[in-house]
Chain A
Amino acid sequence: MTKYFLLVTLLPLFGFLINILFGKRINSEKFSGYLSSFLVFVPFFITFLVFLDFISVPPESRKIVLNYFNWIAAGKLSINYSFVLDPLSITMVMVVTGIGFLIHVYSIGYMHGDESFARFFSYLNLFIFAMLNLVLADNFLLVFLGWEGVGLCSYLLIGFWSEKKFTGDAAKKAFIVNRIGDFGFMTAMFLIFANFGTLEISGFLGNIAGMPVNSVLLTAIALLFFLGATGKSAQIPLFVWLPDAMAGPTPVSALIHAATMVTAGIYLIARTSVLYALSPTASQIVLIVGILTALISATIALKQNDIKKILAYSTISQLGFMFIALGTMSYGVAIFHLITHAFFKALMFLGSGSVIHAMHDEQDIRNMGGLKNKMKITYITFLVGAFAISGIPPLSGFFSKDEILYQTFINAGILPYIIVLFTAALTAFYMFRLTGLTFFGKARYDENKVHPHESPRTMTIPLIILGILSAVGGFIGLPHFTGLPNYLERWLEPVFTNANRVIQLYKPEGHHAVSVEILLLILSVLVAAGVIYFAFKKFSKQERFEKEKGFGKILENKYYLDEIYDKSVVEPVQNTSEFFLWKIFDVKIIDGFVNGISFYVSRLSIDWRKIQTGIIQDYATITIAGVVLIILYFIFA
């Protein structure tokens, strides 16, 4: 199957080209929608076949590098367009194309009637193309190309409804904040090239394997990559763009801003796990940032009223959980949570889209209520998602989140564990506040004007499939004490062997009683169940909403972080640009310089043009004079 693997990336690209070039002319929603979806499904299918091939061979040989062509060769720099196929990249490709396909199908219903239907699908396909390049690339430059590509698609899709000014601002915000992260990524690449003379990932990881632990260079590279990751994966301090990104169409929020693109940072660190294993300092920082982000965004989510904003902060918080796993050097666990989160968060976003669709673009949960009878499928699937994210067994989120809690306990200590457990409790709380206010209680909207109804089948079928995946997805990674095989861990193991070997050098494997693990598990389930009961009781019947006061108001306003960023970063930058860089530096110095040059160029041009008289005798004279001058120069100089 690997022979045809290039199709995996080419087909979405092809879909993009068809839709962007001819979509408007063909002007058929059916054509654009089904073609795009199909061109994402085929890559999923091919990858699935490759997956089957892989599990039939021994784990050591589960790595193939597909070298397509030499892209750039200049001096020492040689960049191949090559893909690496290993359990990690195959897992990522299946998540991206699998969930991507479901969301494509969902979008056919959701975007029905939109003026720029074909353009929407062309961007979605371009996104899949870029994302696949990102996760498959075998060198950092190609990863970066995908990294920028998904950023571009994110920008285009956030601002998709460009007639609303807010969407444009949100798109720009996402783009600019990500630039800061990209700066980190690029600097890391420069450092790697300068010190190791290669940008190939496997080559680089092989080179560093023997280096001492915590060397300054590796820590710097690791932290710079992490800066890139905080941009793309919305972590402190660069997470502010993600909530605003909800201005885009809801399928985009589900695909790009919850399930796939925002996990690029997680992927990057997992891919370079050896680097982070060699730098415990960097890993410690990853852990701290993860914990802080998870906690802070979970508290913000408590007091938000926009259904998509709550999900957005929840996404940031869950990404924080994944970084916690990475920080404790449990790379497989991070990928596990990435997968389950992709299931249930995509599910909930699509569910919220279905609700918004039914409520005629109403997004404020204070104006909803009682929807459970009007939209049964949406309600049930959403409930599954909410239970999954809260960590109720045996749904998928329970297994992955519990593994993270356990790893935090044994690798980071008791205090981080308590914070993470508290954050998990908050998660359950805001999720059931959301569920209670949306689906239960009495209708708080004008029932004469709005008639909520279930969404069309193209939308509900993806919901059902994702609902099933969210429910049973956790069984791929059962905890050890059950005595049952942990398929995911075994599958991913070859990818992280080197990192684990490095970790063992300085950190002897500790033994923990199985009883501790079971105890922690029961504790977290009890906490989650208790919080759900409390939240559900409080919010399922709430009808009045009072103005928030005190800490609640701070939370509602997201700790005023946007305002603080505005005052401390945006305004000073803007003022410097406007009053110094633009009005003085640009206008006076740069423009003056440029205009001066162009003035002299024009003058010279006018004068020199006159040499060309059109009279051939003149030409001959000048030519001979030129020859003589050159000869004289060489004889006498």
Chain B
Amino acid sequence: MEQTIISLKNFIPECVLIVTILVCLLADLIVRKKSAVVAVIGIAGLFVSGWFVIGQFGVKESVFFGMVVIDPYSVFFKLLFIVSTVFIILFSLASKEIKDSTHTNEHVYLMISLTLGANLMASSVNMLMMYLALETVSITSYVLAGYMKKSKRSSEAAMKYVIYGAASSGIMIYAMSLLYGYTGSMNIFEISSILSKMGGTNPMLVIVMVMILAGFGYKISSVPFHFWTPDVYEGAPIPVTGFLAVTSSAAGFAVLIRFFSVTFLKSTTMLNGSLQIIDGIRWTEIIIVLSVASMIIGNFVAVWQMSFKRLLAYSSIAQGGYIMLGLVVANQQGLTAIFVYLVAYMIMNLGAFYALIMISNKLNSDDINDMKGFAYRAPAVAVGMGIFMFALSGIPATVGFVGKFYLFSALIESNMIWLALVGMMNSVVSLFFYIKVLKYMFLSKPDEENSGKIYYGIAGYVLLFILVIPTLLLGIYFGPIVRFAEMSAVMFGLK
């Protein structure tokens, strides 16, 4: 009882989110029509929760009987999720797809529920808790993907997502039960110390590892667990797609990185800083394979996509591959690089999705062919999109370059130069399709019948500007995010 009370103190941000969800639900029942009020309540709740999360910075504590921990690592992710959710809710207010749907305001509290699940994913250290958190995120994602229930594509996407997600979770939970049976514990620290004593030569451990990776890999859209991604991204409304690309996949990384760094590292080395992988469990090699496969498949297949959403789907598969490169290094520097990249990834991806919302609101399409000459029709939006595309491909003076720079330099300092080279080559290929979008927008003239100027409300431009500024500013002055990442790259139980 006493511990529960102490634990609750460290659980305030999540409690605030739960209250926010309930208040939004009630408010929705009262207003009974589409209204910004619910969104405003949701955003306010997120801000309050975020404020408490900031207060947790520097805390290192295990709560609820070793189920979850509060550490700088989880604080970093929680802030990332909260910020991106605020933006996504704002996007959904601007999105025509959401406006045209038959629902009132359900998306707001569904999104906050997803954030709650994601927060738990970032902080859980118990396999059961991890699974529950992951399912919270997944189930809300299914609902959100099928949000436009009149649209056949949206429903199909949701259905595929459910089946694929269920299969992946099934594989993962089976592996978790095997691991439990082998070690007799659900807590990843305990598992780690037991495995450290036993050694990792049992071939079953490899099976367990790969199968667990299937569950997490599906969340981060890593090849070969990525198949749902293009179809779901294409079918879901764009704000939801953006949400999946940013929050849901970052949450996948949060749980994946913690699980692998804790469970399969020698428990004796954890506290003195010289981390060593348990003999016989070569998980970094699997990560290398998945990372290279994700980069190559993601970038190469994106080249011929004419649907902007599918293009961004493959792009996020490839971006996931880059992030995994940081995990391969498996040390403090790698983790810092991942964090820097995640911040960059969030900003530029949110920007790209928002610009896409603005475009498709007016064109009712996400086909790149329809965007011919868009720069002549709405120059500000086209330039914004251009900046985000440059950032995603990692051109200097944008935040995307900083992210890639830190990843590759972490690799080079760990003598994995060839892997850095693969990453760089892939960036070159990615330039091909990111710039292709701009080619259609800037170099082609608009069709005769659709060449009128397009105007947006002032709020639309302001939101775009808010996203453009950090994309450029943090590309030049990136000291703060690097320091923030260095401070956050501290995991409970690891030195």
Contact = CB atoms under 8 A, between A and B. Distances in A.
Check if A and B associate.
Answer: yes
Interface of A: 69-75, 598, 601-602, 604-606, 608-609, 612, 614, 616, 618-620, 622-623, 625-627, 630-631, 633-635
Given A604-B300, A608-B297, A630 B227 contact: no
Nearest to B209: A634
Given A69-B477, A73-B482, A627-B211, A619 B227 contact: yes
B26 interface: no
B160 A616 contact: yes
B429 A622 contact: no
B90 interface: no
Interface stretch (B48-56, B163-171, B487-495): B163-171
Contacts of A622: 224, 227
Interface string B405-420: 1100100010000000
Interface size band for B: 35 or more
B228 interface: yes
Residue of A74, A605, A618, A627 most packed against chain B (CB within 10 A): A605
Interface in B223-239: 223-225, 227-228, 230-231
Contacts of A616: 160, 163-164
Interface string B463-495: 000000000000001110011000000000000
Contact of B405 (A74, A602, A605, A609): A74
Contacts of A74: 405-406, 409
A74 B336 CA distance: 12
B274 to A, nearest CB: 20
Nearest to B476: A71
B422 interface: no
Given A623-B225, A630-B210, 13 more contacts: A70-B479, A72-B478, A601-B303, A602-B304, A609-B301, A616-B163, A616-B164, A619-B164, A626-B223, A626-B225, A630-B286, A634-B285, A635-B206
Interface string B396-437: 000000000110010001000000000000000100100000
Interface string B180-217: 00000000000000000000000100110011001000
Contacts of A614: 231
Contacts of A72: 478-479
B337 to A, nearest CB: 11
Name the prevailing secondary structure of the B interface residues: helix
Nearest to B167: A620
Contacts of A71: 477, 479
Nearest to B205: A634
Most-contacted residue by chain B among A71, A625, A634 (CB, 10 A): A634
B37 interface: no
B19 interface: no
B289 A630 contact: yes
A329 to B, nearest CB: 39
B301 A612 contact: yes
B472 to A, nearest CB: 13
B282 interface: yes
Contact of B227 (A602, A608, A612, A627): A612
Contacts of A602: 303-304
29 contacts: A70-B479, A70-B483, A71-B479, A73-B479, A73-B483, A75-B409, A75-B413, A602-B304, A604-B300, A605-B303, A608-B297, A609-B304, A612-B301, A614-B231, A616-B160, A619-B164, A619-B228, A620-B163, A620-B164, A622-B224, A623-B168, A623-B224, A623-B227, A626-B223, A626-B225, A630-B210, A634-B206, A634-B282, A635-B206
Contacts of B413: 75
A608 B225 CA distance: 15
A635 B167 CA distance: 24
Given A74-B409, A602-B303, A634 B286 contact: yes
A69 B474 CA distance: 13
Contacts of B164: 616, 619-620
Contacts of A598: 432
A601 B227 contact: no
Nearest to B313: A612
Interface string B297-310: 10011111100000
Contact of A627 (B171, B300, B302): B171
A45 to B, nearest CB: 28
A509 B210 CA distance: 79
A605 B301 contact: yes
B334 to A, nearest CB: 14
A71 B210 CA distance: 41
A271 B231 CA distance: 62
B304 A69 contact: no
A601 to B, nearest CB: 6
Contacts of A635: 203, 206
B412 to A, nearest CB: 9
B477 A626 contact: no
Nearest to B289: A630
Contacts of B167: 620, 623
Contacts of A623: 167-168, 214, 224-225, 227
A609 B297 CA distance: 9
A74 B483 CA distance: 11
Given A598-B432, A608-B301, A616-B164, A634 B210 contact: yes
A612 B223 CA distance: 12
Nearest to B302: A605
A634 B283 CA distance: 10
Nearest to A635: B203
Contact of B300 (A601, A612, A619, A625): A601
Contacts of A604: 300
A599 to B, nearest CB: 11
Given A619-B228, A627-B171, A605 B304 contact: yes
B366 to A, nearest CB: 17
Contacts of A625: 224
A74 B224 CA distance: 34
Contacts of B477: 69, 71
Contacts of A605: 300-304
Interface string B271-315: 000000000001001100100000001001111110000000000
B18 to A, nearest CB: 34
A617 to B, nearest CB: 9
A612 B167 CA distance: 18
Contact of A626 (B224, B230, B429, B432): B224
B479 A627 contact: no
A631 B409 contact: no
Contacts of B230: 612
A70 B484 CA distance: 13
A539 B238 CA distance: 79
B335 to A, nearest CB: 16
Nearest to B159: A616
A171 B478 CA distance: 33
A607 to B, nearest CB: 9
Contacts of A618: 227
Given A73-B482, A612-B301, A634-B286, A601 B210 contact: no
A605 B318 CA distance: 14
Complex A-B, nearest 5 residue pairs according to Cβ-Cβ distance, in ascending order: A626-B224, A619-B227, A605-B303, A70-B479, A634-B206
A620 B429 CA distance: 28
B210 A631 contact: yes
Contacts of A70: 479, 483
B67 to A, nearest CB: 28
Contacts of B483: 70, 73
Nearest to A628: B210
A336 B282 CA distance: 69
Nearest to A600: B300
B1 to A, nearest CB: 44
Contacts of B297: 608
Nearest to A70: B479
Contacts of A69: 477, 479
Interface in B31-88: none
Contacts of B300: 601, 604-605, 608
A434 to B, nearest CB: 46
